[in-house]
C-alpha cells in the first residue's frame, strides 16, 4: 500500500472510531464527557484532510463521511429490531438497513466536510456546515433528526437551553464547544469550558426555580408490555384487551386513563361494543386510547377519547408518519410490484397522514392537551404548529418496535426535550416502556419500570408560561447560525485552523 493510501486508511479508520465514540453521548449512556472530545477529534481530522493535496474536498468528504457512519451506525443500531420481528420474512434486510441508514445520514456530514475544505478556516467551516447539515437532516425527505450531537445534553442542566433555542440551539452549542479547542488550542479549551459552565449554571438555576402546582386530577398510564411478535396475534388479541380493561377498572378509577399507541386490537368502527366496554371499565370517565381508524379504504394511526356510555368525544390522527414503517413512498406501486408493505401498519398497506397538530379540550379539570403519537415526538414542529397553546402534552407510543437496549430510551429522551422547549408537562404512555410523567422542565416525575406489565397513577404537573422557544421558534438559533457562517466568510484575526 502506498504511503499516501495508508495515511488515508488510518485517517478514515480514526474518524470511524471517533464517530462511534460520539454515539456514547446518546441515551441511555449519556456520556457527553467523551462524546464532546470525540467530536473535537473528528473536527481536527477533517481539518487535516482539508489540507490534503491534490483533492482536499474528496479527502475531507471521506473523513466526515466516516465519522458520521461510525456515529449513526452505533447510535441507530436499534434499527435492526423491526426486521427481527418476523425473521423469516424480513431478517435478511436488517444488515442492509443499518448500512444504508448510517451511510445515508452520514452523507450530510460528508457534504459538510467537502464544504469545509473550500473555506479559509476549515475548522469553523466544518462547524458551520455540520450545524447546517444537521438542520437539513431534520427536514429533508420528511426529516429524521434522531441522534443529533446536541442530544448528548438531555437530562443534564445544559438541556434547559432548549427552552430558549430548542434542539438546534443545543446542536449549535455542542459544535461550538467542540470547535473552540481546535481553532484556538488551550485558550479555546478555556473558552469552551467557561461557556459550558455558564450554560450549565443557568440551566441549574432554572431547574431550581419554583415549579407550578399540579392539576387536581389523577392520571392512569397503562403499560401492557405486549411483545411486537405477538401483539397482533389473533389468539392473543382479546387477552391484551382484557388486560387493559382490568387495569383501567382498578379502584379508585382515575380521572383520565391512557392506553398506548394501537392498544386496541380491533377496528372500533366495526365493533361498537369495544368503546362501550372501555367506558364501562372506567365508570364513564374519559379514556384516551391508541387505535387504528378506518374510513372507506383509508386508515389512520389515531388517538380517540372515549367516555360516558361509550361516546367518542375527540379524535387525533397522526400526521407525521414514519417512511417505510407506516407508509411506503409510492406505496401502491411498491406493493403491486414488490409486495412491500409498511411494517407498522396492520390495517391496510399503510396509514394516511392526519391533517396536522391538534389541541383537544378535555374539560376544565384536565385542560387542553396536544397529542403526539410515537415518532412525532422527535420533531419540535409537531408542537410548534399547534393552533393554540395547550396545558400539557400527551405522547402515546409502541416502542416494542425499537428493541430493549437503546431505541426506546433515545425516543423517550427526545420526548423530554419537547417538554423543555415548550415549558409544558409531558405524559408518555408506551406499550413496553418508557412510560413516565415528565414535568415542564423535562424532569421525570414518576415512571414504570421498563418491560413490565403495569399501571402508573400520578398527578398531572402544572404548565410554565410559554418559553422563548415556544414564542419565537427557530429564528434565534438561525440568527446565531448565520453569525457563525459570517465568521467563516470573514474570519477574525488570529490562527487559521
* Residues classed as catalytic: 261, 318, 374
Would you tell me how many other CB atoms lie within 10 Å of the CB of residue 25? 26
Q: How is the beta sheet containing 360-361 ordered, strand by strand?
A: 360-361, 368-373, 392-397, 426-430, 436-438, 444-447
Closest CA to 367 of 331, 393, 339: 393
Query: Can you tell me the distance from the alpha carbon of 106 to that of 84, in angstroms, rounded to the nearest whole number?
Result: 24
Handedness of CA 75, 227, 290, 319 (dihedral sign): positive
For 215-228, letters b (16+ CB in 10 Å) and e give bebbbbbbbbbbeb
Q: What is the largest CA-CA distance in the chain?
A: 78
Closest CA to 390 of 426, 346, 354, 349: 426
Query: Can you tell me the distance from the alpha carbon of 93 to that of 306, in angstroms, rounded to the nearest whole number?
Result: 39
Q: Which grid coordinates belong to 70?
A: 461510525
Closest CA to 379 of 176, 168, 172: 168
Amino acid at each position: 500500500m502506498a504511503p499516501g493510501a495508508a495515511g488515508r486508511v488510518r485517517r478514515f479508520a480514526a474518524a470511524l472510531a471517533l464517530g462511534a465514540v460520539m454515539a456514547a453521548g446518546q441515551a441511555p449512556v449519556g456520556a457527553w464527557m467523551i462524546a464532546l472530545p470525540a467530536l473535537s477529534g473528528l473536527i481536527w481530522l477533517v481539518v487535516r484532510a482539508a489540507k490534503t493535496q491534490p483533492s482536499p474536498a474528496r479527502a475531507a468528504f471521506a473523513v466526515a463521511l466516516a465519522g458520521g457512519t461510525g456515529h449513526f451506525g452505533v447510535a441507530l443500531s436499534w434499527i435492526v429490531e423491526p426486521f427481527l420481528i418476523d425473521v423469516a420474512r424480513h431478517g435478511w434486510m436488517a444488515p442492509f438497513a443499518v448500512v444504508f441508514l448510517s451511510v445515508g445520514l452520514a452523507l450530510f456530514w460528508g457534504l459538510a466536510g467537502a464544504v469545509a475544505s473550500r473555506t479559509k478556516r476549515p475548522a469553523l467551516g466544518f462547524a458551520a456546515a455540520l450545524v447546517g447539515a444537521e438542520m437539513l437532516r431534520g427536514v429533508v425527505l420528511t426529516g429524521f433528526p434522531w441522534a443529533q450531537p446536541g442530544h448528548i445534553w438531555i437530562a443534564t442542566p445544559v438541556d434547559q437551553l432548549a427552552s430558549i433555542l430548542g434542539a438546534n440551539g443545543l446542536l449549535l452549542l455542542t459544535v461550538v464547544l467542540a470547535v473552540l479547542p481546535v481553532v484556538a488550542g488551550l485558550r479555546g479549551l478555556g473558552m469552551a469550558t467557561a461557556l459550558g459552565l455558564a450554560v450549565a449554571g443557568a440551566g441549574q438555576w432554572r431547574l431550581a426555580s419554583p415549579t407550578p402546582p399540579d392539576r387536581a386530577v389523577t392520571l392512569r398510564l397503562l403499560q401492557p408490555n405486549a411483545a411486537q411478535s405477538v401483539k397482533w396475534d389473533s389468539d392473543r388479541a382479546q387477552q391484551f384487551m382484557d388486560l387493559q380493561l382490568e387495569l383501567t377498572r382498578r379502584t379508585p378509577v382515575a380521572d383520565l386513563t391512557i392506553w398506548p399507541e394501537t392498544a386496541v386490537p380491533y377496528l372500533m368502527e366495526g365493533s361498537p361494543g369495544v368503546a362501550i366496554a372501555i367506558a364501562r371499565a372506567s365508570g364513564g370517565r374519559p379514556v384516551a386510547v391508541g387505535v387504528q381508524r378506518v374510513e372507506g379504504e383509508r386508515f389512520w394511526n389515531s388517538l380517540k377519547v372515549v367516555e360516558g356510555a361509550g361516546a367518542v368525544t375527540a379524535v387525533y390522527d397522526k400526521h407525521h408518519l414514519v417512511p417505510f414503517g407506516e407508509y411506503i413512498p409510492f406505496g401502491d406501486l411498491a406493493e403491486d410490484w414488490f409486495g412491500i408493505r409498511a411494517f407498522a401498519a396492520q390495517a391496510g398497506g399503510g396509514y394516511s397522514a392526519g391533517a396536522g397538530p391538534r389541541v383537544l379540550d378535555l374539560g376544565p379539570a384536565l385542560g387542553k392537551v396536544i397529542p403526539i403519537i410515537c415518532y412525532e415526538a422527535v420533531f419540535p414542529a409537531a408542537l410548534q404548529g399547534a393552533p393554540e397553546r395547550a396545558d400539557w402534552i400527551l405522547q402515546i407510543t409502541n416502542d416494542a418496535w425499537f428493541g430493549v437496549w437503546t431505541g426506546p430510551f433515545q425516543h423517550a429522551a427526545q420526548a423530554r426535550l419537547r417538554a423543555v422547549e415548550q415549558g409544558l408537562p409531558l405524559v408518555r404512555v408506551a406499550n413496553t416502556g418508557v412510560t413516565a410523567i415528565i414535568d415542564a422542565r423535562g424532569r421525570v416525575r414518576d415512571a414504570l419500570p421498563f418491560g413490565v406489565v403495569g399501571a402508573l397513577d400520578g398527578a398531572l404537573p402544572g404548565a410554565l408560561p410559554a418559553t422563548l422557544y415556544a414564542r419565537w421558534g427557530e429564528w434565534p438559533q438561525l440568527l446565531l447560525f448565520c453569525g457563525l457562517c459570517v465568521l467563516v466568510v470573514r474570519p477574525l484575526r488570529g490562527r487559521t485552523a
